[in-house]
């Protein structure tokens, strides 16, 4: 509760927000100027990361809400060990969505599997800006996400990332009423997911921004027009337009990078999207990423 009272994300906490904002912008990398390769944290062994390596992951997530890592010892780069690595960060409660593998890490690859054919993530098409699990019910919010590249595409499949705290900061700088609107509990509604006439998921209504139990900012968002029904209030509509313009701009806050094999992302469910891609001719070489969606938060060390 104390973390909520002192949260910079509460609109009434102006001085706490100002202090946080200065610090955040001071530490934010300018992605138009820096080489993404310099942002990676090297992990020697995925099954036995060192204390120093884990500390670096926590520090990066605290500063920028995400970290990029690279597994050095290829023999430890297995799906099982990615689970182990996540557990070192405190991530173990996985959301087993309807397309997840039995171990709940989802294989993101081109698929014609029944049940996945309606979903763009399992195609080679571009994915628009979103946070993961934006359609989840209130008691199953996704606080953290892991994306691990087992095999890149022949061409494309680039990830674009933006710290959702920066999106909040820019919106609040532009107009605090945008935040007020996006924090309303009925700001957005995601229509029910109906497949072959059967309701797979009920419609979900909720806020874009909220503050979780640890005082961290949580964001639910999708840029896909047909996925969202926005509350028809001026502040919300303008805020959504502001975000769309931000995503189209050459912002120094957007990182663009194509993950290579043994590289991955661990984050506090930041904003992200993917470009379209082309696979190799041989099926066994298809782009393959493992994704974990966690109810757990990445806490401060
Ligand atoms: Fe995603």
pLDDT in tens, 76-118: 999 999 999 999 999 999 998 666 666 778 999 987 655 554 5
Structure tokens at 67: 């970290």
Ligand 1 centroid distance, CA of 145 (Å):
8
Q: How far is the CA of 132 from the centre of ligand 1 (A)?
A: 5
Cα 299 to ligand 1 centroid, rounded to whole Å: 21
- Residues with a beta carbon under 5 angstroms from ion ligand 1: 132
Ligand 1 midpoint to CA 222 (Å): 10
Task: Say if CB 46 and CB 17 are below 8 A apart.
Answer: no
pLDDT tens sequence across 113-137: 555 545 777 889 999 999 999 999 9
Residues of the chain predicted below pLDDT 50: 117
Q: Which domains does the chain have, with CATH numbers?
A: 2-294 (3.60.130.10)
Q: How far is the CA of 230 from the centre of ligand 1 (A)?
A: 20
CA–centroid distance, 297 to ligand 1, in Å, is 17
What count of Cα atoms within 13 Å lies in the side-chain half-sphere of residue 301?
15
pLDDT at site 67 = 98
Taking each helix axis from N to C end, the angle separating 14-27 and 164-174, rounded to the nearest 10 degrees, works out to: 130
Q: Is 291 exposed, middle or buried (0-12, 13-18, 19+ CB in 10 A)?
A: buried
C-alpha of residue 14 to centroid of ligand 1, in Å: 32
pLDDT computed for residue 113 by the predictor:
58
| pLDDT value of residue 98 | 63
Helix (H) or strand (E) holding 168: helix 164-174
Instruction: For residue 272, report the distance from its CA to the centre of ligand 1, in Å.
Output: 6
- Predicted pLDDT at 57: 98
Residues 61 and 99: their CA atoms lie apart, in Å, by 27
């Amino acid at each position: 509760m104390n973390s909520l009272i002192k949260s910079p994300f509460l609109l009434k906490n102006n001085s706490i927000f100002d202090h946080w904002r200065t610090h955040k912008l001071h530490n934010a990398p300018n992605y138009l100027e820096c080489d993404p390769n310099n942002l990676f944290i090297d992990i020697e062994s995925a099954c036995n990361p060192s204390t120093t390596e884990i500390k670096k992951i926590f520090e990066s997530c605290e500063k920028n809400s995400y970290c990029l890592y690279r597994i050095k010892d290829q023999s430890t780069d297995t799906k099982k060990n990615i689970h182990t690595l996540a557990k070192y960060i405190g991530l173990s409660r996985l959301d087993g969505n309807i397309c997840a593998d039995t171990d709940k890490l989802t294989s993101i690859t081109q698929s014609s599997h029944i049940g996945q054919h309606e979903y763009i993530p399992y195609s080679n098409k571009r994915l628009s800006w979103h946070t993961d699990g934006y359609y989840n019910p209130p008691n199953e919010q996704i606080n953290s996400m892991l994306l691990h590249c087992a095999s890149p595409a022949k061409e494309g499949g680039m990830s674009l990332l933006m710290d959702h705290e920066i999106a909040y900061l820019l919106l609040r700088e532009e107009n605090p009423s945008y935040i007020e609107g996006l924090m309303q509990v009925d700001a957005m509604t995601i229509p029910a997911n109906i497949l072959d006439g059967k309701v797979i998921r009920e419609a979900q209504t909720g806020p874009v921004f909220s503050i979780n139990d640890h005082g961290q900012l949580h964001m639910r968002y999708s840029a896909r027009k047909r996925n969202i029904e926005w509350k028809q209030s001026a502040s919300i509509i303008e805020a959504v337009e502001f975000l769309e313009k931000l995503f189209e701009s050459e912002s120094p806050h957007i990182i663009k990078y194509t993950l290579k094999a043994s590289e991955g992302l661990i984050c506090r469910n930041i904003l992200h999207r993917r470009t379209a891609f082309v696979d190799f001719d041989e099926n066994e070489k298809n782009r393959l990423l493992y994704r974990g969606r966690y109810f757990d938060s990445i806490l401060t060390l």
